[in-house]
Amino acid sequence: MKYTEITHPSHPHDLVLGSAEEPYQCDGCKEVGFGPCFKCGQCNFNLHEECAMPEPSAFHPFFSKCDFRFYENAPGSSDRFYDACGKDVRGFVYQCSHEHDLHPCCMKLQRTLIGDGVKLHLSDKVSTRCLKCGSKEISKGFRGWSYESSCGQYRYHVACVKDLVLENWRRGYFDDGHNTMALQIMVRNEDIVQQTGGSSSSRMKVSKYWRMAKVALTLIISAVFGDPTTVVATFIASLLSS
């Protein structure tokens, strides 16, 4: 059953499910969100769907020995970060006795994404570089979670996709339909870029590679941000058409 109106203990007014036309800060986890959220009609209060309706306890297959509990404020040290995306824990969190922390949205990420000939799997142990940052690690000693294609050619950190969308929204790329974001990502793969000056066959391979990489990126954006706003959806369409 899908709820469209709820009460929440963190807020005095009823919250209604709607689509935000602009990016918003979730008042639960304190992260920026796009698309559907529960929002207050009387004041500027918003919650991700995942933050608005968390489970009291949860399990994740990446942490087979952990029983996660939901907290509005993480117990223990304030210097903590989410294991999946590396972001600082500033609000709602799932935490286990082994002190692993998961963002409510990361907890519910789909394990498998499929679309237009691309199949991606969520992984916490990626062996090759992210196409956005060009590294296996988000930061020194920390890999985070990634989506990787079955063929092994396309992979993106969840954190990199989040940062990518936010960075390019701030730069106005969503407003004018530029495909700069896609171009910046793809040139990270040096082996592919080196082929661009080659034969017609090489250029066709490059074109196919870029198209499939864009499909992969589109699937991940939708998984991370949910049903995108009109602005983000338009941008995703521009990725696939370029």
Q: Which helix (H) or strand (E) holds 69?
A: strand 68-71
C-alpha–C-alpha distance, residues 147 and 67, integer Å? 24
Tell me the per-residue pLDDT of 148-158, one tens digit each, with 9 for 90 and over. 998 888 889 99
Q: What is the pTM of this model?
A: 0.80
C-alpha–C-alpha distance, residues 53 and 1, integer Å? 12
Provide mean pLDDT across the span 186-211. Answer: 58
Question: 66 Cβ partners below 8 Å, 6+ apart?
Answer: 59, 60, 96, 97, 98, 100
Lowest mean pLDDT among 31-45, 58-72, 179-193: 179-193
Q: Domain ranges for the chain, please list them.
A: 5-52, 57-107, 112-241
Provide mean pLDDT across the span 59-77. Answer: 87
Q: Give me 143's structure tokens.
A: 């890999």
5-52: CATH topology: Wheat Germ Agglutinin (Isolectin 2); domain 1 (3.30.60)
Answer whether residue 86 shows pLDDT above 80: yes
Tell me the per-residue pLDDT of 105-158, one tens digit each, with 9 for 90 and over. 999 999 999 988 889 999 988 778 888 888 888 877 778 899 999 888 888 999
Tell me the per-residue pLDDT of 19-35, one tens digit each, with 9 for 90 and over. 776 778 899 999 888 77
Is-contact 35 46, C-beta < 8 A? no
pLDDT, residue 192, reads 46
pLDDT, residue 216, reads 86
Is-contact 39 5, C-beta < 8 A? no
Name the 3-class secondary structure at 134: coil
Biggest alpha carbon–alpha carbon distance for the chain: 65
C-alpha–C-alpha distance, residues 116 and 114, integer Å? 7
Answer whether residue 241 shows pLDDT above 70: no
Q: Around Cβ 235, how many Cβ atoms within 10 Å?
A: 25
Question: 149 Cβ partners below 8 Å, 6+ apart?
Answer: 118, 119, 120, 121, 155, 212, 216
- Dihedral of CA atoms 71, 72, 77, 80 in degrees, nearest 10, equals 90
pLDDT, residue 33, reads 82
E strands in the chain: 5-8, 11-25, 32-40, 46-47, 57-58, 68-71, 93-95, 101-102, 112-115, 118-123, 146-149, 155-157
Tell me the per-residue pLDDT of 96-109, one tens digit each, with 9 for 90 and over. 988 899 999 999 99
- In terms of Cα–Cα distance, which of 142, 145, 175, 141 is closest to 161? 145
Answer whether residue 76 shows pLDDT above 50: yes
C-alpha–C-alpha distance, residues 34 and 164, integer Å? 13
pLDDT, residue 131, reads 85
pLDDT, residue 242, reads 54
Q: Residue type for 149, please?
A: S
Name the 3-class secondary structure at 112: strand
Q: Give me 75's structure tokens.
A: 């117990």
